[in-house]
Amino acid sequence: MPNKKSQAAMEFLMTYGWAILVVLVAVSALAYFGVFDSKYVWKLLPKMCQLPTEIHCADFELYYDDSTLPPSNILKLSLRNNKGGAIRVDKIGVANVEQSSVVALSNGQANIFEVFDITPLNGNTEAISAGDAYKIEFNITYTNTATSLSHFSKAIIRGTQVVEYS
């Protein structure tokens, strides 16, 4: 009587092998047509502003200014102090651009900051226009006025709507 265990094992491997091959072909086709492209995925993600708990990002907008050569982006942030005491925002920096602000904020107070000529970190070195998805990493340096200690925080914003600058 022949051994049927090896035939059952071979049929098992062949069945799952064909199933895995079909899945690989489907994923390859989706990747080829750009479904996994980061710009497409970012457009599906909601608008987000991620900051440390001491500073709250009330709102933000990214403006596209084509009146300058080369065209540039302007980031407008509305930041609120949640530290529990007064702070002084010293610098806000995006990539190689740093804006020295020196704005004092008491507890719960908000202020609008603008950072000019930024390049979003979406793999593009040029300014982005309306409808493009973006992700921007920036740094905030602030000082606790009660202790005179300086703090450095990293933040991330992400969105898709870029407003034309007027």
Question: What is the number of domains present in the chain?
Answer: 2
Which residue range(s) make up the domain with 13? 5-36
Question: What tens digit of pLDDT does each residue of 41-60 get?
Answer: 666 677 888 888 888 888 88
Please indicate, yes or no, whether residues 75 and 114 belong to a single structural domain of this protein: yes
- Whether residues 10 and 73 share a domain: the answer is no
Give the pTM: 0.62
**CB contact at 8 A, 81 and 109:** yes
> 157 in a domain, yes or no?
yes
> SS3 string of 81-145?
ECCCCCEEEEEEEECCEEEEEEEEECCCCEEEEEEEEECCCCCCCCCCCCCCCEEEEEEEEEEEC
As to burial, measured by CB atoms within 10 angstroms (0-12 exposed, 13-18 middle, 19+ buried), residue 106 is exposed
Name which residue leads in pLDDT, 39 or 16: 16
pLDDT at residue number 42: 60
What was the pLDDT predicted at 111? 84
Residues 21 and 88 grouped into a single domain: no
User: 65 with 20, same domain?
Assistant: no
Q: What is the pLDDT of residue 122?
A: 47
